[in-house]
């Protein structure tokens, strides 16, 4: 992984399937989809990363709903194979955590 920072923006479309079954009548984005958004942003910001091996300090502080716009901010963690992420919507922290990866081998 290359030391870096990055950001990505996403709009959570109501009909994209991310919200299916979670929950009818009051849809919220599942926690695993927060992680998927962070991983998508990492794929855009870093040239290569290893396999995801773990998560640390993951916090969900606000629900995301269909139509929300999300900004994902990334910074390298203390370990060379870690990336810290923050998801924000309308400037408010939504979720954050540390993603751990295996070493990249050629």
Burial of 14 (0-12, 13-18, 19+ CB in 10 A): exposed
Position 4 scores a pLDDT of 63
Q: Which CATH class is domain 5-101?
A: alpha beta
What DSSP element (H or E) covers 96? Answer: strand 92-101
Position 25 scores a pLDDT of 81
3 — pLDDT class (breaks 50, 70, 90): very low
Position 88 scores a pLDDT of 98
The answer to whether residue 99 scores a pLDDT higher than 70 is yes
Average pLDDT for residues 85-91, to the nearest whole number?
Answer: 96
Torsion of CA 10, 49, 2, 101, to 10 degrees: 100
Average pLDDT, the chain: 89
Verify cis geometry, omega within 30 degrees of 0, for the bond prior to 23: yes
Average pLDDT for residues 86-92, to the nearest whole number?
Answer: 96
Distance CA 20, CA 24 (A): 8
């Amino acid at each position: 992984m290359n030391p870096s920072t990055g950001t990505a923006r996403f709009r959570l479309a109501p009909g994209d399937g991310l919200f299916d079954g979670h929950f009818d009548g009051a849809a919220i984005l599942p926690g695993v989809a927060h992680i998927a958004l962070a991983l998508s942003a990492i794929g855009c910001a870093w040239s290569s990363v290893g396999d995801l091996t773990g998560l640390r300090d993951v916090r969900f502080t606000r629900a995301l709903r269909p139509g929300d716009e999300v900004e994902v901010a990334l910074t390298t963690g203390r370990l060379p194979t870690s990336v810290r992420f923050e998801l924000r919507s309308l400037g408010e922290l939504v979720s954050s955590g540390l993603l751990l990866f295996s070493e990249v081998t050629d």
